[in-house]
Amino acid sequence: MTDTGKTLAVITGDIVNSTKLTARQFESLLSKIKQIQAWISQCHPANAHSIRRGDEFQSVIYDPANTLRYVLLYRVGIKSLGKMYDSRMSFAIARNEGIRELVDESMGEAFIRSGRGLKSLKTEYLCFDSDCTEWVTDFELLLKYLDRQLMQLTPRQCEVLLPMLQHEDSLSVSELADTLNIAVATASKSLKASGWPLMQALNQQFSTRIAETLDV
């Protein structure tokens, strides 16, 4: 076990109503989760992941300022598969106490808080915790509103949002339209209907707040 002394994030999630999925739907879900985890690792090679029983997943994040973006990638990516797909996620940021070679065997404050948060989720599908109480206070209500917005997204809206999240907001609307082979007006309308401008602003606010505190 390694005590890095770093501030890390842990994302812990599970699939809503996974037992109702067919074998084919479950395989599509598993493929999408692995794809999302590969994207997250491309952003920081130290980021590590696990999938347990196919419907539970976890990511250890070494670039914690980007954690909300990764949470959105998971949620939007999974929902893009169809109306029967969604996920609950709890994410926490805290000083690491011990990282093992396998994510499932690791422990520490971020792991404990993330796992505890997932167990607490009932009607809500998203929660955040940290050993920095100011972060929790700053974002608790905003993330509740975000969760509500994400619940209302259609699979098609998620398909439109996903490239924007993958490219760290660097895609223009015209480039997005080209990527999805749709009209620019359609892409623009879908982004507005999905609440992308506010989602983008919250993600940036979260990233900036964490980065400033950690001085990264």
pLDDT (tens digit per residue) in 62-93: 999 999 999 999 999 999 999 999 999 999 99
Residue 32, φ and ψ in degrees, nearest 5: -65, -40
Give 156-168 pLDDT, tens digit per residue: 999 999 999 998 7
The structural domains of the chain, ordered by start, are 7-153 (3.30.70.1230)
Q: Which residues of 158-186 are buried (b: 16+ CB within 10 A; e: fewer)?
A: bbbbbebbbeeeebebeebbebbeeeeee
Across the strands, what pairs with 93? 9, 130
3-class state of residue 158 by DSSP: helix
Burial 132-147 (b: 16+ CB within 10 A, else e): beebbebbeeebeebb
Residue 127 has pLDDT above 90, yes or no: yes
Number of other CB atoms surrounding residue 4 within 10 Å: 14
What's the pLDDT at 168?
A: 74
What DSSP designation does 188 have?
A: H
Each residue's pLDDT tens digit, 139-149: 999 999 999 99
> How many helical (H) and strand (E) elements, i.e. helices and strands, does the chain have?
8, 5
User: Tens digit of pLDDT for each residue in 27-65?
Assistant: 999 999 999 999 999 999 999 999 987 689 999 999 999
96 has pLDDT over 60: yes
Place of tokens 């100011």: 134
For residue 213, which amino acid is it?
A: T
Report the candidate in 70, 69, 68, 87 with the shortest Cα–Cα distance to residue 30. Answer: 87
- Split at pLDDT 50, 70, 90, the class of 169 is low
